Amino acid sequence: MDSSSAASIGIASPRGSLRRSIVLERAVVVLLCLGSSAALSAGPECAPLDPVPDGSGTAADLVISEIVPGSHIELFNATGLGISFSGAGRVISSPFTSYLLSTLAPGAHAAPFGFVQLPWPEFFADTSGGGEIVLWFDSTFSDEAIHDYVCWGASNENRKAQAEGAGKWGGACAPALIAGAIARLESTTGAAAASYDAVSGASPCPLLFGDGFESGDASRWSAGAGLPAS
């Protein structure tokens, strides 16, 4: 069975609004802030991704906007309504290891047309050389449950045929990541390699945290380990 965990996340809308959630529930990785407060820095604004319908007939309110293996996965809320992760069955997976968003980010929500950055799940084995990430509406793992799909480099392509059958992908995977990141291009379907930039480095939206400082300095955080649910 696929695995799930809990962790801390940061959330930022295109307007730079902020929220932080620290979770201490059955954690694989728990991040605890150790630093002192400092002045907020707004950083550059992120324009809405403005995704184009992929023609699958299954509309996705959440899509994958950026993946930085070993660092984070960023999602974009493509609707004008906030999306809560609490109590929802949404799942993110690197087949065949999966995490429920309700345990990865309980209590969190994606602001309308906003971005959510999730910490990299400990048991995802994707690298710059190859990987595959699937965002699911629920844990049925059916064709209809696929929100979004991305593969790159020397991917195992465990779910590629399913994504193709569901109309969520077509053609070869995106190339290996030149600078360690893959990002969805604005105004694209997300259903083919041409929808992604696998050349540029990471460019996440600014993540400002509710305690008054940015958390980009990993030395200010500590990690605790636990066993994942199965």
Please name which of 67, 58, 45, 224 lies closest in space to residue 142, comparing C-alpha atoms.
58
Angle at 62 between CA 42 and CA 204, to 5 degrees: 30
According to the model, what pLDDT value does residue 109 have?
Answer: 78
Query: Over its length of 230 residues, how does the chain's per-residue pLDDT go in tens digits?
Result: 444 333 333 333 332 222 222 222 222 222 222 222 222 222 345 778 899 999 999 888 999 999 999 999 999 999 999 988 877 689 999 999 999 998 877 767 788 998 888 888 889 999 999 999 999 999 999 999 999 999 999 999 999 999 999 999 999 999 999 999 999 999 999 999 999 999 999 987 754 332 222 333 333 322 322 223 22
Quote the percentage of the chain above a pLDDT of 70: 68
Which pLDDT score is estimated for 104? 78
Q: Can you name the residues that pair with 66 across neighbouring β-strands?
A: 74, 183
pLDDT for the residue numbered 198: 97
| DSSP H/E element including 164 | helix 160-165
Taking CA atoms, 25 is separated from 110, 119, 223, in Å, by 20, 15, 14
The CA distance from 129 to 173, in Å, is 12
pLDDT value for 105 = 73
HSE, CB side, 13 Å, CA atoms: give it for residue 131: 24
Residues in the chain: 230
Residue 103, pLDDT score: 80
Per-residue model confidence (pLDDT) at position 45: 57
With tokens 């392509």, the residue in question is 157
Q: 0.75 exceeded by the pTM?
A: no
Q: What pLDDT is recorded for position 102?
A: 83
